[in-house]
Chains A and B, each alone.
Chain A
Amino acid sequence: QTVVTQEPSLTVSPGGTVTLTCAFSTGAVTSGYYPNWFQQKPGQAPRALIYSTTNKHSWTPARFSGSLLGGKAALTLSGVQPEDEADYYCLLYYGGAQVFGGGTKLTVL
């Protein structure tokens, strides 16, 4: 069974930098898994942030960036704002289908 693992929770101070990661049970995450990242705030539909590892959507704030780091997909937030407090999900393409990670709850404190 394919499992995508994210940190369950992280805490960051306003103005700080934090990196969320996304690991795959099959092995190292590569660009061939086309990692995507999504943000979801309570009571709202998810919003796409990053596609194909590093690409931002037109609405994605500049402080969000995607990369590969140590065999994982990574989402880095630089200069964190209070409104960045949310759940973050990664998504990997695998075998024609897609697999979501369990999500990271980011607290800005």
Chain B
Amino acid sequence: EVQLVESGGGLVQPGGSLRLSCSASGFTFTNYAMFWVRQAPGKGLEFVSTLNTNGATTYYADAVKGRFTISRDNSQNTLSLEMSSLRLDDTAVYYCVRGAGYYSYHGMDVWGQGTTVTVSS
């Protein structure tokens, strides 16, 4: 069974940092692009970041560019999102999502259950 399990969410002050992790299982991790997607309370889905199978190519939403860093460890089947200079509007549920194929342009298929990040003083 394909599974994505996020961890690392929590309460952080504005300007603080947090690292999210996603543990993947049930599929060949190295064959899929991966994504982070977030959803603010009561709002729609928002693309955050993606990276290709070897982690060499990354893309970010303008809202997080320069503050967030996506990475993957193919030896550990793990996806990460390093978040810094956090702002109030970064408060959201963050989802780890598997790409629908080798390349990110295929889109997304399997979603984790999400981890909640709350930025508040």
Contacts and interface: CB of A to CB of B under 8 A. Distances in A.
B95 A46 contact: yes
Contacts of A40: 45
Nearest to B49: A97
Interface residues of B, number: 25
Interface of B: 35, 37, 44-47, 50, 57, 59-61, 95, 100-101, 104-114
A68 interface: no
Given A45-B114, A51-B100, A100 B106 contact: no
A32 to B, nearest CB: 9
Contacts of A35: 107
Interface stretch (A11-19, A22-30, A76-84, A88-96): A88-96
Interface residues of A, number: 25
A102 B47 CA distance: 12
B47 A100 contact: yes
Interface of A: 34-36, 38, 40, 45-48, 51-52, 57, 87, 89, 91, 93, 95-103
Given A46-B45, A52-B100, A89-B45, A97 B60 contact: yes
Given A96-B59, A97-B60, A98-B35, A51 B45 contact: no
B44 A89 contact: yes
Contacts of B112: 45
Contact of A97 (B61, B109, B111): B61
Contacts of A93: 104-105, 107
B95 A103 contact: no
A65 B9 CA distance: 35
Nearest to B60: A97
B46 A100 contact: yes
